[in-house]
A = this chain, B = another copy of it.
């Protein structure tokens, strides 16, 4: 694991019998170099295995062509879409993705920004745990684009959770559910707040009641407690903060002998990998994570069309994926939950 000595621009210049600047131009400004000289330079460079050192280029230009993406948890399947979309967009323009794990912690996130801000051209912060002040502080260090988070003055790309919640409630209401239990996400979470607000508003519009329980951690493990709480509420439909929680809820319900969807319908958010695979398959609200990641990167690099400080958040669409975990509400008399309340 030893590093070989690499040829520099000076080596190439000497070998080719030209000035270093000519070598430089041959690579980065072909128009301003004689085709012949350039061909020769490139030839020598190839022979010497030379390629411009991006670090030196970055020092000179002040731009590293690198963007950092910070997610709360790399291992959470929900976030891979953003990573994928961001990487694709960056790679397509010869840029580099730095990936950092925020460890579900505002402090860790801020440390990441502190550590990296000189080395990258900007940050995409997905579902940031930082508060508004910390976010603005971060934006003072380097360009920042938020994903699924809105803070006044900062550019952001957000999924349409309000419209999505409407789809969920509409779906549930059409199945005859009159009372929804929402298993809320973490109290500091922007998306948890948005999702709950969306459901509440939609519930009003559809004339159904929605009660919020929690907060719960957005994990499979938290599903047990969440399911028990939901059962105690005796509602025929449960809307979980996210798919992980929803899956945990279904596992617990199965364990307690409650049938999904016959006795209780369950809906999640995110449509993560696995939502289609669990049993019953989960009805959930899908968002365009890859697209959001890509848009955020674009906004960062070029101040995209409708994104930027002072601009409203760019909204990406959501759509409800109806699977096996939701069904017609049971008649009140035969509802499993009813016997419990």
Contacts and interface: CB of A to CB of B under 8 A. Distances in A.
Interface size range on A against B: 35 or more
A100 B69 CA distance: 13
A332 interface: no
A62 B74 CA distance: 29
A88 interface: yes
B80 A91 contact: no
A97 to B, nearest CB: 5
A83 B59 contact: no
B96 A119 contact: yes
Contact of A81 (B75, B97, B100): B75
Tell me the number of copies of this protein. Answer: 2
Contact of A87 (B77, B100, B278, B309): B100
Contact of A74 (B56, B83, B142): B83
Interface stretch (A47-55, A211-219, A313-321): A47-55
A99 interface: yes
A94 interface: yes
Given A55-B59, A97-B99, A98-B98, A77 B273 contact: yes
Contacts of A58: 55
A242 B97 CA distance: 28
10 contacts: A1-B303, A2-B143, A3-B142, A53-B118, A55-B119, A75-B81, A77-B80, A96-B119, A277-B277, A278-B279
